[in-house]
Structure 1
Amino acid sequence: MGLSNKQKNYIREQYRKKSSGQLAREIKADPDDIAAYIETLQPTADGRKKLIFLAITLMIPVLFFVILESSLRLFNYRGDTSLFEFPEEYFKGEYGLPNRNFNARYFFNTANLPGFSNDAFLADKPDTSFRVFVMGGSSTAGYPYGFNGTFSRVTADAMKDVMPGRLIEVVNIGAAAVNTYTLYDQIPEILAQEPDAIFIYTGHNEYYGALGVGSSEQFGAFPGFVRTYLRLQRLKTFMLIRDFIATVSGWIATTMADERLPAGDGTLMQRMVQDQTITLDSDAFLLGKNQFESNLDKILSRFDKNDIPVFISSIASNLKDQKPFVSIRSDKHPPAEEVFQRAKEHYQAGNYQDAYEKFKYAKDLDALKFRAPEIFNEIIRKKAEIHNAHYVPAYESLQANSINGIIGFDFMLEHLHANQPGYFHIGKSFFESFAESGILENELELTELRDWEHYFDAMKLSELDDRIAYHRIQLLTGGWPFKDEPDPYGYPYGYEPEGFIDDVAFDVVHTAKRWDQAKLSIAEYYTENGAFEKALSEYKGLIRDQPYNHSPYQFAGRLLLQYMNDFDRARPHFEKAWSMKPSNYNARMLGSIEVNDGNYERGISLLEQALEFNERDVQAMFNLSGAQAMNGQLETAYETAMKLRQVQPGFPGLDSWLWQLERQRQQHSPENQ
């Protein structure tokens, strides 16, 4: 007779504590049946133990990585690599800025990371904001000018004029040596900041930019795999493993590699190159083309799905005045140098159309792929149409305005970075495409658009900016690939600065001197030498770059008031400084301007506020007494002047002023009426 269910339940509960004999006596069952049933239970118990042991074993490495990831985050390994930061120290978290450490995500073999612009946006987006993010490489970043040299600021200036009811926020996140992989990786963080439009100028860095197929910072040649890698490197643990592998690989490469390119030497342009022989239609060429197409599809479709208008531009480079860097004969194509020479012959003979075709072909044949091949512009046009993006004909605009229709040094400084007119035309092209797109048709007041010469001048690039650009270009073109070997006695070692401005510009490029510090130094130099308008231009350049900073407005206002006696132009600068940061100095200066203009009530109020900031401000006291007297408050003016005497009895002009007040008081006393 078998065991009942009740007996089996009792056995399952007690078999670990009691023997088969005890169980048999208690439940009055056959001991053999009980022993057989216990045998069926024992494997289940052992299996459960094994499962528990296996789970613990698997949890140990998971727990290890959780602890490691938490520790790396706690100690901020590699720093904050978010695309945007919201500094508490300077802006109390009110503004967001591009994070200069963002590029640590991509450059694991490069020590000096390319930075971003100073463009800021409000952390809490107001309803009136029209927010644009500008994506791309070094040309987007405005190299070699940076700051006010970017094309995006030209576009922003025009947008502000035709959209007076909007707060225009154009944020440039272009950086040197990045390509469409970086642009793809930026999208989630851009979307989080609620963009109203996206501007894109990209393509030149596709082969040698971070993670490109010919780059020293590559991680495979298949876009889908690399995009997965980009998602993984958000983890600090993954970055640690990546950096360890890169360090070991770098050590092996340094030990075994050709000594022509020692690790860490040369320009960023030089350090980024791994494959110098990417010939037209080769496997590497096609991989780069596939990479560009695949990433553009992902980028444009992502924005399209989120209903964000995208304006993507054709890209330009120096065709006429930049010979190919590497010339190789292949089975399919002639050497690039040979085609370039034929192009020059056509040009000199006046056959400009033939020359143009040959210059384009020579560029495409250049095996060192720093300049994007012509097919990339075709890809941009095609992808824009497929994904409902707006095509910006920047290349076509530069071509139309070039000498004989072929882009050269008229718009380019070397192989692909534009000069001021070049960046200006690119910015103009973006604005015109934006205005023609119809996305804000009812809001644009195009009659408010000024003459385009105004926007060129509004770039505020001074002699200092031009000299900084000069030194950066000299540094870039002084070595590979423009020269086989740098001249050990040439630039910068043997360079003698051409005066004070050039000396400061040299320091900006070759030392830790910041651009904004240099602008202030030059403004002071101009002021000391009586060149007040030039000094003002330097302050205006700082204002354009840092419109959220009260200091440049204050500096400009002080120059206009104290040195140029120009109250009209000083007023808006102090108004802006006062609205951004109420202070003793701003209140006193703005109050004095109001008094000078006969606005006594507001002038008196501001001067009184200046004394609230600093009750011993003797100049504010003196100015306040004068304002009160001009407003007919003679007794109050006299009291203020007497307070000044208590604070500083010998204040210049005080005794004479008190004497005048005494006479006016006597004349207006009831006895003399």
Structure 2
Amino acid sequence: MHTGPAVRHDGAGEFPAPLPPHPGPMATTPAASPPPARRLLWTVLMVLIPVLFFVLLEGGLRLVGYGDDYPLFIPAPDAPAYRYQNPEVARRYFVRQQNVPNSLYDFFLAEKDTNTLRIVVQGGSSAAGYPYYRGGSFSRMLEQRLLQTFPGRNVEVVNTAMAAVNSFTLLDLADEIIAIEPDAVLIYAGHNEYYGVLGVGSAESLGTVRAVVNLYLRLQHLRLVQGLRALLAAAAGTLAGDERPRPGHTLMERMVREQSIPYGSPLYERGLRQFQGNLRDLLARYRDAGIPVYIGTVASNERDHPPFISGLAEGTPADRWEALMQDARRAAAAGDTARALARYDEAIALDSLAAEAFYRKAQVLDAAGRYAEARAAYRAAIDRDQLRFRAPEAINAIIRAEAARAGAVVVETQAALAAASPGGIIGHNLMLEHLHPNVDGYFLIADAFYEALRAESAFGVWPAPVPADLARQEVLLTAVDSLMGVYRIRQLMNNWPFQPPGVTRRDTLRPTTPVEQLAVALLRDQRSWGETITLLRQYYEQQGDYRRALQAALALVQEYPFAAAPYLDAGNVLVKAGRYDEALSYFLAAHDREPLPAAQRMIGSILLRRGERAAAIGWLERSLQGDPDHPQTLYNLAGAYALEGRFAEARRTVIRLLERHPDHADARRLLGSLPPEADGEGNRE
């Protein structure tokens, strides 16, 4: 048997020569060491080669068009002087969702001027105004009120909030928000910390190490990073089996990975640390940029929404606990409050993590009028709800502590909603389901931020503060947007977690009124929001309901501040309502945006009505330059000339009108009222 060293065949039928005998110790010659410069060069090359490889790979991916950049703000398509939030920016975070959430389309000047007051809003779906959006959001309510408070100022409230995002997104967007130079940042966030994208319990997660997630977000513009995450997401979908993203009917359902996150568990604590760390960094970034921050405490439905998932702690004797709960329910039904509370307390002592016992105890205390105790028990139930769609009270404690640390202003929005609720307990009076406010709830949030800004003398002197009751009357939520809110909530609550897993209630909408028909068509994407609200305005005008027609017109003004047409439409509604002085301001605003002949005509007509004939003539003449045959412009101009004693010009203008519109009876009467042509030789021209 061959026992020597193995010899490799070189493939050519020959073997290498045998090794020379090993020299003895005295014959050893040390290898020559390369010069230091060569060693340095070699080290640099070893470092640069992989770097160069990745640089070339990144460049190649960009060259073939792989991946994309999703800046927060992009130029407005039809208004180059304006910018707005990129509808695709959420694709930075949502990799496994085909349809991603977006925000309100709040347009703002690309170049901020000294007359502009700019506020940016951050948060999740509540901050975005779900389910109404637009005029139903607290940001639009606040903007409408600030516009009246600061007449003559250009007020911009730019809402960057999106559904299903949490503190990771807020922190990631901060630098781009700082770049647009806001005068203040308003934050209403905290409910999405567990299931929002990248959260510790989310289906769109990168793990529980905050530093790793934030590093990824800083590198996500690289195509290599985008490709790597896409591969990981695909692999997760393949390998996770029943853990893969669920094809739920709502984003709320699709975002949940960990349905059970018990109170005080490691995952629960990680979520709190994630929020605290990100919020601390976020507030520090704004503080260093010199931007004031106003951060609201978050509120949810305490009274009228039981815990989604209660659950018992491991080791709890379930039979004993259930017996106590049944006895407590029987006592409560019999009106024996003392016995019911005693049994609920025993159940809580047996298992202090079961949310249901706290909630049922709160209901008994509530019915007994012991509201402070009831509120504490309701909030304890929310804390222990294992399906963490509602923020625990620890989130508000973190908000207060981190705001104090950074010098931010805490806006007690939770307390504002509680103060407006029976017994100081928030319920369906202000909430639509588990945490999204109704219109009154959103107005209270807007009012809380308004008063906080005012108390801090933000933006200097407040020349014309608007009372809350007047501001509430002027909220620009149209009937269509209100119905859209109803439909969206109905769709949400027809699915999990409001229904059992796998159960979906079908809802066939059957519109019975013209307004409902408009709303359903919008819900089904049969026409755009702008087209829908224009049709709504026209419908109200036909009905003679000028108050609602004006609301619809002003909603379009708020949506498209750069466009002339909405201002023109609002002015026309005000004219029909006999509010000429207000109409004039809208026609002038329309003309500032685009010199439309229609705006010039209406400005001239109102000035003529006010007796400002010389100014009126100038506007009417300008209108004719763009629309030379408009009968009303010709008639009003002829009348203005006549009133000024310029009879020859009046005659020429009215004859021109009759040549184009021979049946114009008023023009014939005007012509007949003018002095004979021979008498016009001395008129002033």
1:543 to 543, 549, 557: 557
Question: Partners in 1 of 2:144 and 2:509 — Cα distance?
Answer: 37
8 Å CA contact 1:311–1:392 kept in 2: the answer is yes
Question: Partners in 2 of 1:52 and 1:64 — Cα distance?
Answer: 18
Matching residue's letter, 1:140? A
Structure 2 match to 1:289: 272
Structure 2 match to 1:102: 89
Instruction: Give the secondary-structure state (helix, strand or coil) at the position aligned to 2:372.
Output: helix
Unaligned runs of 5+ residues in structure 1 are 1-38
Matching residue's letter, 1:537? Q
Q: Deviations over 1:352-376 (max 9, x none)?
A: 2221111111111110000000111
1:571 to 564, 575, 584: 584
Matching residue's letter, 2:59? I
Distance 1:664 1:453, change over 3 A: farther
Structure 2 match to 1:84: 73
Question: Partners in 2 of 1:484 and 1:45 — Cα distance?
Answer: 71
8 Å CA contact 2:149–2:466 kept in 1: the answer is no
Structure 2 match to 1:361: 380
TM superposition score normalised by structure 1: 0.85
Distance 1:665 1:298, change over 3 A: same
Question: Partners in 1 of 2:469 and 2:502 — Cα distance?
Answer: 40
1:122, CA displacement in angstroms? Answer: 1.4
TM superposition score normalised by structure 2: 0.84
Identity fraction in percent = 33
8 Å CA contact 1:478–1:486 kept in 2: the answer is no
Alignment of 1:333 with 2:352, yes or no, is: yes
Structure 2 match to 1:243: 230
Question: Partners in 2 of 1:393 and 1:56 — Cα distance?
Answer: 54
Question: Partners in 2 of 1:171 and 1:621 — Cα distance?
Answer: 43
Structure 1 match to 2:486: 470
Equivalent residues in 2 for 1:59-208, closer than 5 Å? 61-71=53-63, 75=65, 77-78=67-68, 80-87=69-76, 89-92=77-80, 94-164=81-151, 166-208=153-195
Question: Partners in 2 of 1:290 and 1:209 — Cα distance?
Answer: 15
Q: Deviations over 1:255-279 (max 9, x none)?
A: x216xx8643320100111100001
Matching residue's letter, 2:474? A
Structure 2 match to 1:9: none
8 Å CA contact 1:204–1:370 kept in 2: the answer is yes
Alignment of 1:272 with 2:251, yes or no, is: no
1:601 to 606, 614, 626: 614
Question: Partners in 1 of 2:153 and 2:671 — Cα distance?
Answer: 51
1:130, CA displacement in angstroms? Answer: 2.7
8 Å CA contact 2:128–2:160 kept in 1: the answer is yes
Question: Partners in 1 of 2:41 and 2:559 — Cα distance?
Answer: 67
Matching residue's letter, 1:416? L
1:394, CA displacement in angstroms? Answer: 0.7
Structure 2 match to 1:434: 453
Question: Partners in 1 of 2:455 and 2:108 — Cα distance?
Answer: 25
Instruction: Give the secondary-structure state (helix, strand or coil) at the position aligned to 1:257.
Output: helix
Structure 2 match to 1:659: 672
Q: Deviations over 1:14-53 (max 9, x none)?
A: xxxxxxxxxxxxxxxxxxxxxxxxx989999999998898
8 Å CA contact 1:215–1:274 kept in 2: the answer is yes
Question: Partners in 2 of 1:62 and 1:121 — Cα distance?
Answer: 39
Question: Partners in 1 of 2:665 and 2:275 — Cα distance?
Answer: 72
Question: Partners in 2 of 1:591 and 1:529 — Cα distance?
Answer: 28
Matching residue's letter, 1:90? D
Question: Partners in 1 of 2:393 and 2:423 — Cα distance?
Answer: 19
Instruction: Give the secondary-structure state (helix, strand or coil) at the position aligned to 2:125.
Output: coil
8 Å CA contact 1:69–1:235 kept in 2: the answer is no
1:450, CA displacement in angstroms? Answer: 2.5
Structure 1 match to 2:321: none
Question: Partners in 2 of 1:341 and 1:42 — Cα distance?
Answer: 81
Question: Partners in 2 of 1:42 and 1:344 — Cα distance?
Answer: 83
2:654 to 610, 618, 641: 641
Structure 1 match to 2:530: 516
Question: Partners in 2 of 1:45 and 1:209 — Cα distance?
Answer: 53
Distance 1:53 1:620, change over 3 A: same
Matching residue's letter, 2:242? A
1:543, CA displacement in angstroms? Answer: 2.0
1:627 to 640, 661, 682: 640
Moved more, 468-477 or 431-440: 431-440
Structure 2 match to 1:443: 461
Question: Partners in 1 of 2:229 and 2:166 — Cα distance?
Answer: 20
Structure 2 match to 1:257: 242
Question: Partners in 2 of 1:659 and 1:161 — Cα distance?
Answer: 48
Structure 1 match to 2:415: 396
8 Å CA contact 1:314–1:380 kept in 2: the answer is yes
Question: Partners in 2 of 1:670 and 1:604 — Cα distance?
Answer: 20
Q: Deviations over 1:124-182 (max 9, x none)?
A: 11123332211111111011111111212333344344444643322111111110000
Moved more, 189-198 or 276-285: 189-198
8 Å CA contact 1:68–1:237 kept in 2: the answer is no
8 Å CA contact 2:203–2:257 kept in 1: the answer is yes
Instruction: Give the secondary-structure state (helix, strand or coil) at the position aligned to 2:590.
Output: helix
Question: Partners in 2 of 1:645 and 1:438 — Cα distance?
Answer: 60
Question: Partners in 2 of 1:98 and 1:526 — Cα distance?
Answer: 31
8 Å CA contact 1:110–1:264 kept in 2: the answer is no
1:54, CA displacement in angstroms? Answer: 6.1
8 Å CA contact 1:303–1:310 kept in 2: the answer is yes
Question: Partners in 2 of 1:49 and 1:378 — Cα distance?
Answer: 56
Question: Partners in 1 of 2:385 and 2:373 — Cα distance?
Answer: 19
1:455, CA displacement in angstroms? Answer: 0.9
Distance 1:412 1:569, change over 3 A: same
8 Å CA contact 1:149–1:420 kept in 2: the answer is yes
Question: Partners in 2 of 1:625 and 1:616 — Cα distance?
Answer: 13
Structure 2 match to 1:592: 605
Question: Partners in 1 of 2:48 and 2:305 — Cα distance?
Answer: 64
Instruction: Give the secondary-structure state (helix, strand or coil) at the position aligned to 2:78.
Output: helix
1:565, CA displacement in angstroms? Answer: 5.0
1:500, CA displacement in angstroms? Answer: 2.1
Question: Partners in 2 of 1:138 and 1:218 — Cα distance?
Answer: 19
Instruction: Give the secondary-structure state (helix, strand or coil) at the position aligned to 1:525.
Output: helix
CA RMSD of aligned residues (A): 2.8
Distance 1:370 1:664, change over 3 A: farther
8 Å CA contact 1:141–1:176 kept in 2: the answer is yes
1:301 to 272, 278, 284: 284
8 Å CA contact 2:272–2:395 kept in 1: the answer is yes
Question: Partners in 2 of 1:487 and 1:478 — Cα distance?
Answer: 8
Distance 1:53 1:151, change over 3 A: closer
Question: Partners in 1 of 2:600 and 2:141 — Cα distance?
Answer: 33
Question: Partners in 1 of 2:153 and 2:122 — Cα distance?
Answer: 22
Matching residue's letter, 1:541? A
1:527 to 537, 541, 545: 541
Structure 2 match to 1:555: 569
1:644, CA displacement in angstroms? Answer: 3.5
Instruction: Give the secondary-structure state (helix, strand or coil) at the position aligned to 2:427.
Output: coil
Matching residue's letter, 2:523? V
Structure 1 match to 2:497: 481
1:568, CA displacement in angstroms? Answer: 3.5
8 Å CA contact 1:560–1:567 kept in 2: the answer is yes
8 Å CA contact 1:111–1:264 kept in 2: the answer is no
